[in-house]
Chains A and B, each alone.
Chain A
């Protein structure tokens, strides 16, 4: 498989198929990046497109030594920060801008999102970059402009904290699932008896 960097260099040289490959590789992950951090499908899709447009426009300035992934996510993070600022500005005073997801989100998204919200901003970002974007510690360190060791310790802290936050929620969701099961079992039994 051709590396991202080689594809980007090809694209810089004028090859559109190279860009299409990059687009196919990163469209999903980038959409996920925005979707998990913002409220609304459409906005996530728009920002994904804006990120790729920025990549196209800045392709002449792409430096060979930069990892494409870090480069792409740094653009995405800038756009995300701008979007959050805009949301904060637009929201009426006194009302806190809506944080990630929650609207029409499935159960998993809801309880994980709520647990993630309890984390400190920087720790949440590091954890999400590692778990969802699958970035290495060094890549996260470069993106967040932090030393690698700090990234590692914050990641550990956030995972431990998240475990605590997830446990009660997990218990509740398991209990709900168990209730559902018993309900349905009862129903089937009742149906069976009726027949």
Chain B
């Protein structure tokens, strides 16, 4: 089958049949299906598989509510409810006939407390408008649950459970405020908006290299950025270069770029942005799932008693989940850091001018150089003579000794013949 020719993947066709394809794609698939015989055949095959599977029917035995379930239902008294009911009974016993009057008094007290709570909340809210966000964190959460149990003096079990659930959860106001605070620290990162990792490259040529370096540091300081990496180098006969990785708050990137450009002549510039919103959201979801799993496993460890091997298995699973959570947490932090701080890779090169050497070396330098040269050649001569003598001396002596007598004899004969 030529799958490449189809605008719709076979898997999408299947998802369409299962009702798992979203709006636009579903319409496109329906249109394509109307005109493509090959896809129609695939759909027919998929339907026939489902149809075949459906022929395997299983009928549950006809029974009323099984006794095991009836017993479990009868025993189902969550601990919190039992404790609450026990309390209620003991209060009633203690208060005897005056219970209704006490209940009324309790209700009135609750209403007064709630009213007091609201007025305090409003006044604190008014204060918090002028104070920094960090102080507004604990505004709402503590009051609400405190007011509830008194008000619910005669109330049902459900209130109690809901209240305890609310107590366990972090107060929403606190969470939001903290997040905003973090976002302020992270340089204007908005959790609900798109998350983009920004990167820029800049290549400059400057005549005043030393000045450029100090200016670069000043620019960084002004924009609350920091230096990720810095390398400077160069060799005689060519210009120096400086390569720096700057990290600046994302919202300061444009301003920083503009200022860095004033340091020299721009040779090349590029900017890129990578959208990581979906990755971030996905990570958050996986993180919260893993946290739920961890919670469930912890509950399981706390509430269930089983075989040692089962307990060990749960503990191993818990360790694994905790490891995953830590890893994802680190990934999330790294991602937020990358988003809140943009990266600017700057390369600054020196505009190099070759210079002529116009001043000749001084006479004294030349004299000292000549003396050094003379001494060096003399020393070299002595050393090479010594070396020659040491290496060839013995053979010279031998040949001298051997040739001395014949040479002397010849010499004497020659002198005698000249004399005669």
Contact = CB atoms under 8 A, between A and B. Distances in A.
A25 to B, nearest CB: 12
Contact of B69 (A23, A112, A136): A23
The B interface is mostly helix, strand or loop, or mixed, namely: helix
B73 A16 contact: yes
Interface in A59-106: 59-61, 63
A56 interface: yes
B399 interface: no
Given A49-B66, A130-B18, A156-B11, A59 B76 contact: yes
B54 A131 contact: yes
B382 interface: no
Contacts of B58: 31-32, 35-36, 109
Contacts of B20: 136-137, 152
Contacts of A27: 60
A27 B66 CA distance: 11
Interface stretch (B42-50, B147-155, B213-221): B42-50
Contacts of A41: 61
A71 B45 CA distance: 32
B256 to A, nearest CB: 39
A20 B65 contact: yes
A38 to B, nearest CB: 11
Q: How large is the interface on B (under 10, 10 to 19, 20 to 34, 35 or more residues)?
A: 35 or more
The A interface is mostly helix, strand or loop, or mixed, namely: helix
B73 A166 contact: no
A108 to B, nearest CB: 4
B346 to A, nearest CB: 39
B69 A159 contact: no
Given A60-B78, A159-B49, A53 B18 contact: no
B69 A49 contact: yes
Interface of A: 12-14, 16, 19-20, 23, 27-28, 31-32, 35-36, 41, 45, 48-50, 52-53, 56-57, 59-61, 63, 108-109, 112-113, 127, 130-132, 136-137, 142, 152-153, 155-156, 159-160, 162-163, 166, 170
23 contacts: A13-B156, A13-B158, A16-B73, A20-B65, A23-B65, A31-B60, A45-B61, A48-B60, A52-B69, A53-B68, A53-B72, A56-B72, A56-B73, A108-B55, A108-B57, A109-B58, A112-B56, A136-B20, A142-B289, A152-B11, A152-B20, A159-B14, A159-B50
A-B residue pairs, 6 tightest by C-beta:
A31-B60, A60-B78, A32-B58, A108-B55, A53-B72, A56-B72
